[in-house]
Amino acid sequence: MKKSMILLLIIATIACQQRSTKEEPTTISGIYSKEDSALVNTAKMFFKIIPEQANQSENQVTDAKVKLGQVLFYDTRLSKTGNNSCNSCHNLSTYGVDNVSTSKGDAGQTGERNSPTVFNASLHNMQFWDGRAATIEEQAGMPILNPVEMAIPHKGFLVTKLHKDTVYHKLFTSAFPGEPEPVSFANVRNAIGAFERTLLTPSRFDKFMGGDLTALNPDEKALDMVLKGLVRNNLKFGARYCPCRVKSGDKEKDKEIKTVENLKRVLNDIKKTYNDEGHIKG
Ligand code: HEC
């Protein structure tokens, strides 16, 4: 009798839990209130949770690749004169940027555009201000061959240079085991790409989105968090992806234009409500 009572209790508890899961999503720290659910749902319209690592099937992130990519990222030998490394314009100790309007090229000339941060860039669905590279790996080869930025005359020039270095030989061989020619331009791009796939900034905002309601305090749960998320995602108030998208005429891309329009609408609402310091107006 006692045993069957306990069994019944257990079944009832499980049944209740299942029902409550259906009604309100449970979270790490409890159950979403209606307000929190609404907030998380709105946030999820615009943002995804930043993962610890941006994995990709075509370029698996391994420790050996990341190690090599990191060395390459800081190496000024990736530029012709030896003045610039990736880190010169995307300084990782200053949030992945160089803090000047336009960056200095390898021979001291001025470039035409501002350097965006490399943090979280691997999560973007395209690279550069005009979206001309699809992935972080494709992007990584371009500054090396750009005549202003790093000015390496051609792919073979860099590969020959790296071949001569025994340390690089070891690093490439362990990053790309079994490959007959591990020191290649494609692998320079893959290694830098793998390293950049670890340059992510998951924050309390992401924890909150993932269901930890205690991660943000009540003040932060106001629209302010949307603003922080936008800045973090480097969307620059929706302006960034507009020009190339609008010209596309492609159905899939048009969907995203709508998202940008939504974003602008939300931001206008935010601007009406908040002053420049992020405080509620009036
Ligand atoms: C001389 C400065 C300079 C150097 C050196 C340089 N970059 Fe850049 N980087 C830029 C500028 C400027 C842009 C934006 C250019 C554009 O959009 O046309 C950019 C764009 C990028 C982006 C796109 C980010 C985004 O949000 O779209 C990534 C990623 C990046 N660089 C990584 C690298 C890597 C990796 C290296 C080294 C192999 C490197 N950069 C070397 C200046 C530089």
The enclosing domain of 191 has a CATH number of: 1.10.760.10
- Evaluate if residue 15 carries a pLDDT over 50: no
- Evaluate if residue 258 carries a pLDDT over 60: no
* Helix H or strand E segment including 30: strand 30-31
What is the number of domains present in the chain?
Answer: 2
Q: Which residues constitute the domain of residue 248?
A: 20-50+203-273
Both 138 and 86 in a single domain?
A: yes
Would 165 be classed as within a structural domain? yes
Residue to mutate, 72, 94, 98, 128, ligand 1, most ligand atoms under 8 Å from C-beta = 128
What's the CA-to-centroid distance between 195 and ligand 1, angstroms? 14
Of 23, 137, 138, 149, which is the active-site residue?
149
Among residues 172, 196, 220, which one ends one of the domains? 196
pLDDT for 23: 44
If you average pLDDT over every residue of the chain, what do you get? 77
Q: Write the pLDDT tens digit of every residue in 25-47.
A: 555 555 667 777 777 776 777 67
Question: Which residue's structure tokens are 């159950």?
Answer: 31
Question: Which residue's structure tokens are 């990584």?
Answer: 140
**What are the φ/ψ torsions at residue 119 (nearest 5 degrees)?**
-65, 130
Active site annotation includes 252: no
Pairing of strands 30-31, 26-27: antiparallel
Q: Write the pLDDT tens digit of every residue in 133-157.
A: 989 999 999 999 999 999 999 999 9
Whose C-alpha lies nearest to ligand 1, atom 42?
115
Q: Tell me the whole-structure pTM to 2 decimals.
A: 0.75
Q: Write the pLDDT tens digit of every residue in 193-236.
A: 999 999 998 888 788 888 887 887 776 666 555 555 555 444 43
Q: Write the pLDDT tens digit of every residue in 73-130.
A: 999 999 999 999 999 999 999 999 999 989 999 999 988 888 999 999 998 888 888 8
User: How many CA within 13 A on the CB side of residue 34?
Assistant: 0
CB 57 within 8 A of CB 203: no
Both 73 and 187 in a single domain?
A: yes
Would 3 be classed as within a structural domain? no
